Amino acid sequence: MSRFNLIFLLLLIILPGCAKGGKSVFRDFQGDYSIKTLSLHSSSSGEYLWHFKGKDILIEGNDISGKHCDVEFRLASGRSRVTGDSGTLTMDVSMILSGNVKYEDGDHLLMCSRLHYDIPGDKILVPGDFKFIIIEEGRTIEGHYLTSENNFIKIYIERIDKMSLEVDNSELFR
């Protein structure tokens, strides 16, 4: 893609969102596009909301799908980061990541193979096996099917397979 075409494409994406006072830039964007590498930032009233990075990106309406996804977002409790081998972000609504998924927020580390995240409701769903580390308390929980709300204030675990009170620090820096 030539430099002119890339700039024209970016203007098509950005300008409709600017005209509507900073609403989602893809709301009026029609068409499907493929991009090798993409880095997007979202903010509202000058406040940072989220940052998405990925490769081999496909944009279909409000959905952004790609490989090697890295999403950082701001919650009332601070910043969180989710990475995965592949994923789909539906603008300001939800995110699904799969393959070596890692969720980190400074207090918690969650590792699994698939994670669904409801952005406005701050809800996490892990439909399979997981390893959850509560860093400050030094607890590790391994199990199957986890749901969480409000930054892990409410947690539901269908099955606990293993629980320990000591955290292996090597888990934190993989």
Kindly report, residue by residue over 104-158, the tens digit of the pLDDT. Answer: 988 899 999 999 998 778 899 999 999 999 988 889 999 999 999 888 889 999 9
Whole-number mean pLDDT of the chain?
78
Do residues 154 and 148 touch, judged by C-beta distance below 8 A?
yes
Distance CA 123, CA 110 (A): 14
25 and 36 in one domain?
no
Q: Is 89 exposed, middle or buried (0-12, 13-18, 19+ CB in 10 A)?
A: buried
CA R_g for the chain: 18
Domains of the chain: total: 2
- Indicate if 3 and 79 belong to the same structural domain: no
Based on the fold, state whether residues 100 and 24 are members of the same structural domain: no
> Residue 51 — pLDDT band, cuts 50, 70, 90?
confident
Q: 60 with 39, same domain?
A: yes
Domain span including residue 167: 31-173
Other CB atoms within a 10 A radius of the CB of residue 69 amount to: 26
- Reported pTM: 0.73
Q: Please check whether residues 17 and 39 belong to one and the same domain.
A: no
Could you report the per-residue pLDDT of 22-32, keeping only the tens digit for each?
444 444 445 56
Mean pLDDT calculated for residue range 47-72: 85
